[in-house]
Amino acid sequence: MAEKSPTGPALAEDLLLSVRDLRVQFHSDEGLVTAVDSVDFDVPKGKTLGIVGESGSGKSVSTKALMQLLPGNAVLGKESTMLFRRKTGETLDIARLTPRSPEVGALRGGDMGMIFQEPMASFSPVYSIGNQIMEAILLHRQASRAEAKEIAIEMLDKVGISNAPLRLNQYPHELSGGMRQRCMIALALSTRPALLIADEPTTALDVTIQAQILDLMNDLQEEFGMSIIFITHDMGVIAQVADEVAVMYLGRVVERGPTRDVIFNAKHPYTQGLLHAIPNLDNIEERLKPVPGDIPSPLNRPSGCPFHTRCSQILGARCRQEQPLERWVARGHAVSCFLHEDGEETR
């Protein structure tokens, strides 16, 4: 079958990425499983989009679709569009590409970099750290092997790795968790990507190292002028790093907008629940208020609003039977909830 033209329509000048109607399903023994259902989000140039939600909400699947890293049993929706502006200025619709196309090969590790949640599982154990960073540089940048080595040492220095020339020859198992994560950031940034995808990069780290990694990413974003998609389940982290936030639940974006607006004026009951679960340092004796219940299995998606099985503000049969439309409740701030039907349906 001939591949559709990958060139996408015009992208707004201030945007690096625009995703519309993203839908991802997986073939399984139990049938077709919907992991991401009609998701919309934008990533402005030089800004950070935070994607937040519990495990199983579709955060990682959404971003792996951007890099065409989905497994073979995945099905991308025919109406899905993922418009991305390359470093060359060309706009591509990633949804029209195939995983083995030359354009995707140039995007992965070149125009887009990714920091995975567990670097020990992402680095090859049989090659040195330097070998793996240099491989990416040689593949995506015009550099000799000697120049690639210099760039690799420079990047390790930038991410705070001491004695970088020595670390270049070490293997992943010889480094601590925090150092491996820094090396993963160095690898992702060594090709100067336009977009960095960080998939829960601080989850396995202690609080001190987590704060250092977040500060490092902010500094490097300012230096390189790149955009970031930061995936996490922690609203506290989102408040520190993101300019805009998209809250996902069971494969759908239930609320999105500027981070400050969403945090201080959360509209969706799920977003409110995530915020109430953050410890209050001003009152350490206050009990945490977790979101009640568990996220349903994608194999057994509830009808109507996906959150109604756990919602404390449910309006009755309508929430159980109908899926709410996205409404704009303020400039750039949208929510999918029947509690806010007086908002504008489109913006």
pLDDT tens-digit readout, 20-60: 999 999 999 888 899 999 999 999 999 999 999 998 899 99
pLDDT cut 90: percent of the chain above it: 60
> What gap in Å lies between CA 101 and CA 191, rounded to an integer?
20
Q: How many residues are present in the chain?
A: 347
> What gap in Å lies between CA 254 and CA 245, rounded to an integer?
11
| Confidence category of residue 347, pLDDT binned at 50, 70, 90 | low
Ranges in the chain annotated CATH 3.40.50.300: 15-111+193-340
- Burial track 117-135 (b if 16+ CB lie within 10 A, e otherwise): bbbeebbeeeebbbebbbb
The answer to whether the CB of 326 falls within 8 A of the CB of 336 is yes
Q: Record the tokens describing residue 96, joined without a space.
A: 């029209």
pLDDT of the residue at 97 = 93
pLDDT of the residue at 4 = 42
pLDDT of the residue at 79 = 94
Residue whose structure tokens are 């073939």? 27
The answer to whether the CB of 296 falls within 8 A of the CB of 302 is yes
Phi then psi dihedrals of residue 270, to 5 deg: -70, -45
DSSP letter string over 2-37?
A: PPPP-B-----TTEEEEEEEEEEEEEETTEEEEEEE
> What gap in Å lies between CA 210 and CA 221, rounded to an integer?
17
pLDDT of the residue at 212 = 84
Which CATH superfamily groups domain 15-111+193-340?
Answer: P-loop containing nucleotide triphosphate hydrolases (3.40.50.300)
- Beta-bridge partner residues of 7: 92
> What gap in Å lies between CA 122 and CA 142, rounded to an integer?
25
pLDDT of the residue at 5 = 42
Mean pLDDT of 101-124: 86
Higher local confidence (pLDDT), 283 or 161: 161
